[in-house]
Amino acid sequence: MTINKYRGFTLRNFKNIPQIGSLSQEDIEAINIVGQVLPFKVNNYVTDELIDWNNIPDDPIFTLTFPRREMLSEENYNKVSELLATSDKATLIKAIHNIRMQLNPNPAGQKKNIPTVDGQQLHGMQHKYRETALFFPSQGQTCHAYCTFCFRWPQFSGMSGLKFAMREADLLHKYLLTDKNITDVLFTGGDPMTTTAKVMSSYIEPLLDKKFSHIKNIRIGSKSLAYWPYRFLTDKDADEMLLLFEKVKKAGKHLAFQAHFNHPTELSTDAVKQAIERIQNTGAIIRTQSPLLRYINDDYKIWKKMWTEQVRLGLIPYYMFVARDTGSKSFFEVPLAKSWEIYRDAIAAVSGIARTVRGPSMSAAPGKVQVLGVNKVNGEKVFMLRFLQCRNPDLTNIPFFAKYDNKATWLDELVPAFGEKQFFYEKDDLISKTG
């Protein structure tokens, strides 16, 4: 196996990407302008092994990682373009900050759900659903490459006030001891696999002790298989990381690796197949998730191919998400009605063992809401919905109805069906628990 050395590209050096010469001047200028506002980082694996440079700018992996002109509004694009040419750095930075603030950098109340221990707020954690605590290792607040649709983009853009970060593994462990309802700890980011095995060990190994017997599942959310599979092959501490996964299994817990894959191309290289196999050999189970994104995967055939290939490789398709209302959403958004059709067509086209995926699901303030389908009830066309996860666990899985709307792209654009004033979870006696 060749040793693959990571080479990252950002706005500063992207003109050194060997294939960049095949882009038009307009596309190169757009990267520089849009990249001032949205996060931009790519690497030599993505550029050499995933992107088809004969298909620019429409190539899905190019669109997933490279800023494109249409990702900003015409007005904002022109503003940044003009300021770049004419103004001083301080003016530019301020204008960019203002544009970012318009783009809803902190959607769906992510700043709520921050737990407290010993009177101290744990900014590196979120505890929204009873069983699962999210932890954001401060060293993992980056990714091997950045997705242009990413809702965590403030974390990568130096907006430190919004950054969830916590160094003290100590506080994480203390908190987990205070609540025996928590069965799952989900490490997320950014990408926790950008940290070293040593750092991950300092968080995970103490959890293998008897006093944490209520913690059954150690979950790791990561895009590393898609963006840098060499993390598990040739990186310096690849073996050490895999050994840590093995220790979790040996301690009688489940290591659930939640892999983000947006397109079947990300499953096509020898490197990713080998990395998947090495992770599986530790006893870990890989589940997969992705948002539904226009220009990247808004066709049921793409999902059919992706899920079929995932199951063949031993991965379990888990979630299909609706893109969140942040950053470049208007570029990527797909109406809920169409999202459901894509989901349904894809599910109908695969065998039963690939029908484990739930979606399309919106991670909204009250919970994860799945669009179950469209139908007519007493002559009224409606969406049927349910909470897959809810802040108030009593409400999980109860079907409810919204008026059909072929343009709506998010829960807050829907109104209750049958002329009702509120959704059931908004009624007074429930709202206090649901938030």
Ligand X SMILES: *Cc1c(COP(=O)(O)O)cnc(C)c1O
Residues that bind ligand X (CB under 6 A): 126, 128-129, 132, 134, 186, 363, 368, 388-389
- The encoded tokens of residue 167 equal 């160094």
- The smaller minimum CB distance to ligand X, of residues 76 and 363, is found at 363
Report in angstroms the alpha-carbon separations of 58 from 54, 67, 263, 291, 295: 9, 12, 13, 18, 7
Q: Residue 166, Cβ neighbours under 10 Å: how many? A: 17
- The smaller minimum CB distance to ligand X, of residues 128 and 305, is found at 128
Q: From the list ligand X, ligand SF4, none, pick the one residue 223 interacts with, judged by a Cβ distance below 5 to 8 Å according to partner type.
A: ligand SF4
- The smaller minimum CB distance to ligand X, of residues 403 and 433, is found at 433
Q: Is the previous residue joined to 21 through a cis bond, with omega within 30 degrees of 0?
A: no
CA 318 to chain centre: 13
- The smaller minimum CB distance to ligand SF4, of residues 65 and 308, is found at 65
Burial (Cβ within 10 Å: 0-12, 13-18, ≥19) of residue 222: buried
Q: From the list ligand SF4, ligand X, none, pick the one residue 231 interacts with, judged by a Cβ distance below 5 to 8 Å according to partner type.
A: none
- The smaller minimum CB distance to ligand SF4, of residues 14 and 425, is found at 14
Q: What are phi and psi of 85, to 5 degrees?
A: -80, -30
Least separation in angstroms between CB 38 and ligand SF4: 10
Per-residue string for binding with ligand SF4, 109-148, x by CB under 6 A? ----------------------------------x--xx-
Which positions from 257 through 276 interact with ligand SF4, judged by CB under 6 A? Answer: 260
Helix, strand, coil fractions of the chain, as percent rounded to 5: 45, 20, 35
**Calpha distance 184→168 (Å, rounded):** 19
Q: From the list ligand X, ligand SF4, none, pick the one residue 134 interacts with, judged by a Cβ distance below 5 to 8 Å according to partner type.
A: ligand X
- The smaller minimum CB distance to ligand SF4, of residues 56 and 150, is found at 150
Should residue 253 be labelled a site residue for ligand SF4 when binding is judged by CB under 6 A?
A: no
Q: What is the DSSP string of 261-326?
A: --SGGGG-SHHHHHHHHHHHTTT-EEEEEEEE-TTTS-SHHHHHHHHHHHHHTT-EEEEEEEPPSS
Q: From the list ligand X, ligand SF4, none, pick the one residue 61 interacts with, judged by a Cβ distance below 5 to 8 Å according to partner type.
A: none
Summarize as ranges the residues that interact with ligand SF4 (CB under 6 A). 143, 146-147, 150, 152, 189-191, 223, 260
